[in-house]
Amino acid sequence: MITGASRGIGLAIAERLGSLGARLAICARDKARIEAAAAGLRKRGAEVFATVADVTRPADATRLAEETSAALGPVDILVNNAGLGSFKPFYEFGEADWDSMLDTNLKGVFLVSRAVAPEMIRRRAGNIINISSLAGKNTFAGGGVYCASKWGLMGLTGCMAEDLRGHGIRVAAVCPGSVATEFSGHSGRDPGKLLQAEDVAHAVAAILTQGPTSFMSEIQMRPVAKP
C-alpha cells in the first residue's frame, strides 16, 4: 500500500515495487491522476488496486485498509508517502496552512499505520516505511511548518518501530534531500543535481529486500553534487 502514489516519489516507488512482483494498492486525493497512475502500472504488468482517499480523514484510512485487504489480501508493506510542502517564514502561514501540512505529513501517517497495524501484529510480519525528509533532521529559514511536520514524523517513526519490533514488524524512515519532482519548486536549480524520485524508490526497495534478521531503521539521502 502506497499513499500519495499518483505521481512523483509515490509513483516511482509503486513502479519499483511492482517490478519486484508486489501487488499494489495505491491512493491519492485526485481521481483522474490515481486512475492514470494505475493504468500506467498495469501496462507494466503490475496487479493494482487504486482508490481515492484522503489520509487525513480517519474514515478514509480505515476504508483504505479494508478495501485493500478485500482486493489483494492483508497488507504486507505500507509506504506512507503522501505529503505537502510549502516554504516561507513561519509568521506568514495561517492556521489553516499549519493544519493542512501537519494533518497530511504527520496525522495521515498515524491514521493509515494504525489502520493496518492490527493485522500485521496478528500475522507477526510487516514493513512500514515513512517517507520523511532531511528537513526532519535539520532546520532552515522558511521551513518552519514543514520541518515541524517532519521532525514530528521522525519521532513518530522511532516510537512506532519500538512498539512494533517485538511483533516482527519493521518500521523505517527514508529521509531524502531535494528531489526533482512537482512537490515543490526548484527555481534556478539544475534538476540534474537533485535527487530523482527513482533514487528514493531504490532506498525503499533496499529496506524491503534486506535480510530477515536485520533492521534498517533510517536512510538519509543527498545528491552527490551539491545543487
Check 49, 110, 146, 151 and give the catalytic one. Answer: 146
Residue with cell 534531500: 177
Query: Cell numbers of 29, please?
Result: 486525493
- Tell me the residue type at 24: L
Q: Assess whether 146 carries a catalytic annotation.
A: yes
Give the dihedral sign, CA 90/95/99/101.
negative
C-alpha cell at position 112? 493509515
**CA–CA distance, 106 with 103 (Å, rounded to integer):** 6
Strand, helix or coil for residue 137: coil
If one counts every other C-beta atom within 10 angstroms of the C-beta of residue 54, the result is 18
The answer to whether the beta carbons of residues 173 and 130 sit under 8 Å apart is yes
Q: State the catalytic residues.
A: 146
